[in-house]
Every structure is written in C-alpha cells, then in structure tokens.
Amino acid sequence: MFLQRTIRKKVTVKGIGLHTGEPSTVTFRPAPRGTGIFVVRTDLPGSPSILVQAEHVRATQMATTLGSPVFSVSTVEHCLSSLAAFRIDNLFIELSGPEIPIGDGSAYVFMEALLSSGFVEQDEPRRYAYINQPIFYGDGEKHAYVLPYNGLRVTCTIEFPHNVIGRQRFDLDINETSFIRELSQARTFGFLKDVEAMRAKGLARGGSLENAVVLDQGGVMNPEGLRYPDEFVRHKMLDALGDLVTLGMPMMGHLVLYKAGHDVMNRLVRKILESPESYRHIELGAPSLLGAQSDRSLWPIGS
C-alpha cells in the first residue's frame, strides 16, 4: 500500500526573497491526512491560506506565484520540488512574507530541512494521477507533454544563445535518491545583461552570486563555478517538478519539456486537469486494483 505522507515535526528555513530582497521565514508543519499542500501567510491578519493548485497560479514571470484576492506568495517552485521528490501529500507551509526564501538558489535548504524533520506515513492511500493518453501543450517552439510511464520520469531540453549553455538535455527517473544526487543542488541562473532591466521591474532585488549562477559574456561569474556541467538544464527540471505539484496529486507519467518555463508548465498542468479522459486516479496496492480487473490493466505501460 502506498500511503499518504507528511513530515514528523515542524522545521524552519530562513533567508531572503530572490525578487523582493526582503527577509523571509518559512516553516513546514505536519498536516492531517487528506489535507493537501497549503501555503499560509502568518504575517497577515487571520493567517489566510491557499491550496497549492494550478487554478491559484497568478503569475509565471521568472517564478511561479500563487495568489488569492487576499494575498500572494511567489517563488514557490524550489520549495515545492522537494515535496514532489519526497512524495509529501499533506503539509502546511507557513510564510512570514510574500516570497519563499531563495536559499542558495536551489532546493537544497528545503531538502535538508525536510530530511531533518523526517517523514510519517498516514493511514490513507495516496491517490495518483496515472496518465493513460498523451497530453500536449505548445506555445510556438516551446512545448511540454506527458506520456504513460511506470513511475515519474522527466526529460528536459533547453537552449540558450550563450557559449556556456547552448543546447542541453537531461533525462531522469525521479525518486528521492535521484533528486538528492542529481537535481537538489542545481541553482537558478541569470544573465548579467538582464539584471538592470529585471530590477527596474521589481525583480531580482535579492539576487547575488550567493544564490544564483550569473553569466556575463565571458562565462560563469561565480568563483566556485558550476556544481554540475549541465547545471542549467537540471535547474529547469527542478523548476518543472515544483510546478507539477500544482496538479494537486502526484503524477505517474513521463513529462517531456522543450524550452518550457513556468508558463508552459502551468498551462500543461491545467490541460491535464481539463482532460479527464487522458488520466485516471489510482491507489497503488489498493485491493480494488488487484482483483478481477487485472492489475496490469491499471498500471502504466512502457518504460
């Protein structure tokens, strides 16, 4: 039986917001079974909350922002990617301001916090969205689609006109071990030539060489260099995993991305939810899946 999961005890991460540049504190708290993932703004009167779902995505420029008529919270994707990798179903994410702290620009601080807390299985089966037909979304040359697959796999391709990046492709079966080893420390990145324009729009005010890979015409400006030779495409895959959490349930399928950022991911997730004929809910190990219907008829095909 694949049971729902939360964390064992509360744990806190402190830092600054990448775009606001303001101090920020996030506390992860266990949530009861069947709750889902909620973001709570503890700094606002009444501590308003919002469920992490695609319909609540309000902006996708440079980061994913969730919002309601009362409040918003931005740069959620790095934090959420760890929840996807560790299959955390129920959690309260309590935040002291409008932006999740950036840490070192990767998912590492969130991964470490969650691992230090530990995990608890809850007495309720986890419900998966099992992709049984391809679902595609495209916007010009940018596109993303999902295919049936026995597990969760991501194939990501990016292309930037910079000699350090160029065209990069990475393919990975996602589980706790592969996320920790291959993705968790991949940092966000940006180009020095764009910094002034971003800051004029109120973005990247907290950005520095401490929390992002920055490139100028000569190459990588960070004195320590890259953590992976293809750190750029790995970070894009990390972002996509975080955005996938807005599906509202873990997915079983193969996600394929080509030049796809937050906007394309949000549109793909919405299209999945709008295509009930292309996926079905399953509870792995549940007795209803093992009887006369034949377990093979309900498991993904191809790998």
Q: Which residues are catalytic?
A: 262
Give CA separation, 134 vs 29, 102, 256, 289, 293, in Å: 36, 34, 11, 22, 23
Give CA separation, 256 vs 143, 169, 259, in Å: 8, 11, 10
Tokens of 150: 């026995």
Give Rg (Cα) of the chain.
Answer: 19
- Burial letters for 270-290: b for 16+ Cβ neighbours within 10 Å, e otherwise? bbbbeeeebbeebbbeeeebe
Helix axes 108-117, 77-85, angle to 10 degrees: 40
Helix axes 231-244, 262-273, angle to 10 degrees: 30
Q: Positive or negative CA dihedral for 7, 55, 240, 272?
A: positive
Separation between Cα atoms, residue 95 and residue 89, nearest integer Å: 18
CA angle in degrees (0–180, nearest 5) for 233-228-226: 100
Contact 39, 80 (CB under 8 A): no
| Exposure of 140 in the CB half-sphere (CA atoms within 13 A) | 5
Q: Helix, strand or coil for residue 276?
A: helix
